[in-house]
Structures are given as C-alpha cells and as structure tokens.
C-alpha cells in the first residue's frame, strides 16, 4: 500500500510539471522599478516561447512581441510609472513541415508600476 503522503506528493509533482505558469511579475503585482524581469515555467517539448507585453488587456498595443528560447526576459524600454501592463507567454513547438507551431497562451497576467516612496519633507 502506498502511503497517502507519497500519493499527494506525486500528484503535486505531476500537476506542477504538466501545467506551466507565469512566475514574475505575478498577477496583480505592484512593482517599483521600470526594468522588468519576466519569468515563466518551462513547457514540456517547447523549443521556444512567444512573449507579449501590452498596455491593453486585448493586446492591441504591444510594447513587446518576440520569440525567445529562454525562460526569462528583462524589458527595459517604454515602461512608465503609475501604469498597468499585461503580459502573456505561449510555447512554440517543433514542426516537421514548418519552422514551429504556436501552442496556447499559458496565461495572462497584469502588473502595475508605482513610484517608490523614499521619504517625506515634513
């Protein structure tokens, strides 16, 4: 008989391996810097990733729209204080008859950039 603890741990590992997720910035996060680190989980069998960054939740105004083989990207351009941004990632898979096939979007997250409070002149 398999101990219940082992069964739960095995299920946790299985689901964490199967379902990739966006890691940084996390959904709804408020950050106080304009050089933004984007990080996401590896998707099984993906050869590359397509990342988009937008000022619109419908991704009609993209600031970033690129493919990368890495699981992180640091974006340093066009980020403004006190604005909200949306980002998403999808895997690209190898294809025999083409360069690659796009997978489904892993997820969509939003984050905001806020001024850091450094003190007051009282």
Domains and CATH numbers, the chain: 21-113 (2.60.40.10)
Kindly list the distances between the CA atom of residue 20 and the CA atoms of 43, 68, 78, in Å, as whole numbers in the listed order: 6, 16, 28
- Calpha distance 78→105 (Å, rounded): 23
- Calpha distance 112→122 (Å, rounded): 28
Q: What are the pLDDT digits (tens) for 3-57?
A: 665 544 444 444 445 668 999 999 999 999 999 999 999 999 999 999 999 999 9
Q: What are the pLDDT digits (tens) for 104-121?
A: 999 999 999 998 665 444
- Would strands 22-24 and 62-68 be described as parallel, antiparallel, or unpaired? unpaired
Residue 7 has φ and ψ, to the nearest 5°, of -65, -45
pTM over cut 0.85:
no
């Amino acid at each position: 008989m398999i101990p219940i603890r082992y069964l739960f741990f095995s299920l946790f590992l299985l689901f964490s391996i199967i379902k990739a997720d966006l890691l940084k910035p996390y959904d709804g996060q408020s950050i106080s810097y304009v050089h933004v680190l984007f990080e996401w989980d590896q998707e099984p069998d993906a050869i590359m990733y397509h990342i988009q960054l937008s000022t619109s939740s419908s991704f009609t105004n993209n600031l970033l729209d690129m493919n990368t083989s890495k699981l992180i990207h640091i974006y340093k351009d066009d980020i403004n204080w006190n604005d909200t941004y949306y980002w998403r990632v999808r895997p690209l898979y190898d294809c025999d008859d083409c360069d690659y096939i796009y997978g489904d979007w892993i997820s969509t997250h939003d984050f905001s950039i806020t001024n850091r409070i450094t003190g007051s002149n009282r």
